[in-house]
Amino acid sequence: MILESIVFYSLAVASVGSALLMVTRRNPVIAALYLILNFFCLAGLYLTLQAQFIAVIHILVYAGAIMVLFLFVIMLLNLGDERKLSDAISPRKIIAGGLSLALLLELLSIFVTGTEGLPEYNADQALQVGTVEYIGKQLFTKFLFPFEVTSILLLAAIIGAILLAKKKPD
Amino acid sequence: MVEQLLQSLSRFLPETTLTVALCSTVVVSLFLGRKSQATLFVALAGLVLATWFSFDQMGVSETIFSGMVAVDPFSVFFKLLVGLSAILILLFSLYSSEVQSTLHRAGEYSALILAMALGMFLMAGASNLLMMVLAIELTSLSSYILAGYTREASDSSEASLKYIIYGAVSTGVMLYGISILYGLTGATDFYGINRALTEESVNSVALLVSIIMILVGFGYKISAVPFHFWTPDVYEGAPITITAFLSVASKAAGFALMMRFFKVSFIDANAVGLPTGVWTSLQGFEWNKIVAILSVLTMTLGNLVAVWQNNLKRLLAYSSIAHAGYMLMGVVVLSDKGLAAVLIYFMVYLFMNLGAFYVVMLVANKTGSEDIDSYKGLGHRSPLVSVAMVIFFISLAGLPPTAGFIGKLFLFAALLDATWIWLAVVGALNSVVSLYYYVRVVRNMFLRDPEGNAEPILFSTPQLAIVMLLLLPTLFFGLFYSPMVELANASVMMFGIR
């Protein structure tokens, strides 16, 4: 139990820390690398929740495919350090900051005031959910329909991408 | 499992038709080459069939695909509404110079309109959080691209980019809200959420935060204030046909999803002593007060800013924001009468708003401008179309004897019934403001002399026939509204709710 807590807290601190570092870096490449670190920490957290499949997919898809694409685009565009256009504190920023703070406080208050009434799951259920077999079964029975709708969503996205990418001047 | 799937598929005919039509347009545009209207007609045929099959589903009430989608009178109503407006939009496209001048991309145009219609059909029936997000995404993704369809125009690209950024943020916030709601209830289908909330009381702050976050997503789809910032720019930059489609069908689908989500998830099934047709929310959770505030903000801002607009597309954009505000009033009252009023309003809104956009499109085809100044003296140059425009505007302002009056009348009646008097007063005051900017256009058309060339503008017979197709219902339903009211009253039935 203690070991589990140690793993959880170290991963949690690392993930929040890397997320903070990501948004504060000026160089986009370094920011992207911190994001990858963040993905690995999250994958570790999924592992502690017995969700092996999600953890592996998370690394493969996000840290592997999507982030590589990100880095390629950043390097192709040859972005330099980000420069701020203005440092002035505008009323808009103050309002946005205030609202974000209010949201943070609300969310914190939820954690503090307790988690009564939350649905409970037993350990066996949790163990089952993480396996590829279980996810596959669910995907092709209960969630077959959303799975198929995703394919149409991707078809629309492909058509749109082609439409936007065709650069022929008319 | 397999029998259940087959059973579901037989209830899924309209959507299957749309999917087949979507694939057909891609194939047809490959073989019949560029520069042809063939794909537009394929899409039109698909939509007519899908609408016909939805019509066939009237009276059915069940959920299909393991409770993912509901087929009930409520969803059938919105499918008909979306199908009808998509058909009209494709008819508009046959006469739109923006679409006709880019015929080499007509295949993609038709395919994306079909994808958008499919997304809205799913939104009308979605009864699961997962389906809700997927349907919204399918609709939004297609509309992002269509908004930037005339890529040559820089304002069109700007519109598309703004749309995507706002869309991505609002979907993100909505997903965060959904994850909190799932954490609280452990269910993704609306009925399961209702059951979980009935059985156990949950942390009220968490529930409130999650609902507000989910409202961001809905607010974005129906362009309610303060999630409306994309609306004027997108409506101005997109081709007029797409603007018209977004302003009616997209909004209708957003309202359908929102009404179903709130009613099914938060209805108190054990409440006693309520008159028929009135329901109440669980645990005294008053989500409708939040919606009331949104409604007031939306209609007031929409109407006040519309007064300053000089571009007719922008004016109609703000007017459509204001109309979303009026319709939200019907959601606030928690009664079937209120929902029926929203449905009536949508039927009316379909004809009058599409009509106004169609006239703007026809005039822009000829004059190349959507400026209010270019409407000076239009009454003398093209009397028939101008008179039609006046009637559409009178209807949008909600004056008798047009259908717009009936729409507002039922909304206010529902509000007064539920003793939301202050909201009704705000709504009535707003209608007065809206009259000002509609009349401003009418004054330009009839009381001002044309600037520069004052030759008559002539339109072809089919173009005028479409104007009549929209004009006659606007007048007819203003006088004989009982079929409309009966349809709306029959269509408020949602699956599994008494």
Q: Band of the pLDDT at B98, cuts 50, 70, 90?
A: confident
Closest C-alpha to A40, from A17, A63, A71: A63
> How far does B280 lie from chain A, in Å, by closest CA?
22
Q: Return d(Cα B377, Cα B83) in angstroms, integer.
A: 36
Smallest Cβ–Cβ distance between B141 and the set A149, A157, A166 belongs to A157
Strand segments, DSSP code E, in chain A are none
> Scanning every residue of chain A, which has its alpha carbon at the shortest distance from the alpha carbon of B146?
A160
Residues in B closer than 8 angstroms to A150, CB to CB, are 134
> What do you get for the CA distance between the two ends of chain B, in Å?
28
Domain A1-78 sits in CATH at 1.20.120.1200
Q: What is the mean pLDDT of chain A?
A: 84
> Scanning every residue of chain A, which has its alpha carbon at the shortest distance from the alpha carbon of B160?
A164
Q: Are B365 and B97 in contact (CB under 8 A)?
A: yes
The answer to whether the CB atoms of A156 and B102 lie below 8 A apart is no
**Total residues belonging to chain A:** 170
- Show the CA angle centred on residue B295, arms to residues B291 and B300, nearest 5°: 155
pLDDT of residue B486: 94
Closest C-alpha to B494, from B329, B266, B323, B289: B266
Smallest Cβ–Cβ distance between A153 and the set B1, B137, B149 belongs to B137
* Residues in Cβ contact with A52 at an 8 Å cutoff, skipping those fewer than 6 apart: A46, A130, A131
Query: What are the pLDDT digits (tens) for B227-265?
Result: 998 999 899 888 899 999 999 999 999 999 999 999 999
Six-digit token string for A151: 């394919």
The answer to whether the CB atoms of A152 and B112 lie below 8 A apart is no
> How far does A11 lie from chain B, in Å, by closest CA?
21
Q: Return d(Cα B220, Cα B228) in angstroms, integer.
A: 6
Q: What is the mean pLDDT of chain B?
A: 90
Residues in A closer than 8 angstroms to B138, CB to CB, are 149, 152-153, 156
| Res. B481: pLDDT tops 70 | yes
What is the average per-residue pLDDT within B453-458? 79
The answer to whether the CB atoms of B115 and A141 lie below 8 A apart is no
According to DSSP, the β-strands at B62-64 and B69-71 are antiparallel
Q: Return d(Cα B245, Cα B240) in angstroms, integer.
A: 9
pLDDT of residue A27: 83
Look up the ipTM and state it: 0.89
- What residues does each domain of chain A span? 1-78, 131-170
> Scanning every residue of chain B, which has its alpha carbon at the shortest distance from the alpha carbon of A118?
B184
The answer to whether the CB atoms of B115 and A170 lie below 8 A apart is no
pLDDT of residue B19: 95
Smallest Cβ–Cβ distance between A146 and the set B1, B104, B130 belongs to B130
Residues in B closer than 8 angstroms to A115, CB to CB, are 203
The answer to whether the CB atoms of A106 and B205 lie below 8 A apart is yes
pLDDT of residue A49: 83
| Res. B407: pLDDT tops 90 | yes
| Res. A168: pLDDT tops 60 | no
The answer to whether the CB atoms of A160 and B68 lie below 8 A apart is no
Burial label, A4 (beta-carbon count in 10 A; 0-12, 13-18, 19+):
exposed
Six-digit token string for B108: 């993609």
**Amino acid identity, position B304:** L
The answer to whether the CB atoms of A160 and B22 lie below 8 A apart is no
Q: Band of the pLDDT at B408, cuts 50, 70, 90?
A: very high
What is the average per-residue pLDDT within B294-322? 94
| Res. B424: pLDDT tops 70 | yes
Query: What are the pLDDT digits (tens) for B343-385?
Result: 999 999 999 999 999 999 999 988 888 888 888 888 888 889 9
Residues in B closer than 8 angstroms to A113, CB to CB, are 203, 205
Interface test with B, best of A145, A147, A158, A168 (most B CBs within 10 A): A145
pLDDT of residue B225: 86
Task: Supply φ then ψ for residue B140, to 5 degrees.
Answer: -65, -45
| Res. B467: pLDDT tops 90 | yes
Query: What are the pLDDT digits (tens) for B186-225?
Result: 889 999 999 988 888 788 888 888 999 999 999 999 999 8
Number of other CB atoms surrounding residue A19 within 10 Å: 16
Smallest Cβ–Cβ distance between A150 and the set B5, B134, B186 belongs to B134
The answer to whether the CB atoms of A115 and B203 lie below 8 A apart is yes
CA torsion angle for B197, B198, B201, B207 (degrees, to 10)? 30
Burial label, A87 (beta-carbon count in 10 A; 0-12, 13-18, 19+):
exposed
Size of interface A-B (CB pairs under 8 A): 94
Q: What is the DSSP letter of B274?
A: P
Strand, coil or helix: B278: strand
Instruction: Work out the percent of chain B whose per-residue pLDDT is above 70.
Output: 98
Rounded to 10 deg, the angle between the B383-397 and B461-479 helix axes is: 30
Closest C-alpha to B167, from B129, B133, B130: B133
pLDDT of residue B161: 86
> Scanning every residue of chain A, which has its alpha carbon at the shortest distance from the alpha carbon of B206?
A110
The answer to whether the CB atoms of B112 and A159 lie below 8 A apart is yes
Residues in B closer than 8 angstroms to A112, CB to CB, are none
pLDDT of residue B170: 94
What is the average per-residue pLDDT within A13-30? 90
Is A122 in the B-facing interface, judged by CB distances under 8 Å?
no
What is the average per-residue pLDDT within B34-50? 90
The three-state (H, E, C) secondary structure of B188-201, written as one string: CEHHHHHHHHHHCC
> How far does B492 lie from chain A, in Å, by closest CA?
26
Smallest Cβ–Cβ distance between A117 and the set B8, B111, B200 belongs to B200
* Residues in Cβ contact with A7 at an 8 Å cutoff, skipping those fewer than 6 apart: A44, A48
Query: What are the pLDDT digits (tens) for B153-179?
Result: 666 777 888 899 999 999 999 999 999
Query: What are the pLDDT digits (tens) for B102-133?
Result: 888 888 899 999 999 999 999 999 999 999 99
| Res. A85: pLDDT tops 80 | no
Q: In which element (H, E) is residue B71 found?
A: strand B69-71
Query: What are the pLDDT digits (tens) for A23-54?
Result: 888 888 888 899 999 999 999 999 888 888 88
Smallest Cβ–Cβ distance between A153 and the set B1, B141, B201 belongs to B141
| Res. B484: pLDDT tops 80 | yes
> How far does A123 lie from chain B, in Å, by closest CA?
16
| Res. A142: pLDDT tops 70 | yes
Q: How many CA atoms lie within 13 A of B411 on its CB side?
A: 32
What is the average per-residue pLDDT within A156-164? 88
The answer to whether the CB atoms of B108 and A163 lie below 8 A apart is yes
What is the average per-residue pLDDT within B258-282? 85
The answer to whether the CB atoms of A149 and B122 lie below 8 A apart is yes
The answer to whether the CB atoms of A146 and B68 lie below 8 A apart is yes
> How far does A4 lie from chain B, in Å, by closest CA?
22
Is A103 in the B-facing interface, judged by CB distances under 8 Å?
yes
**Total residues belonging to chain B:** 498
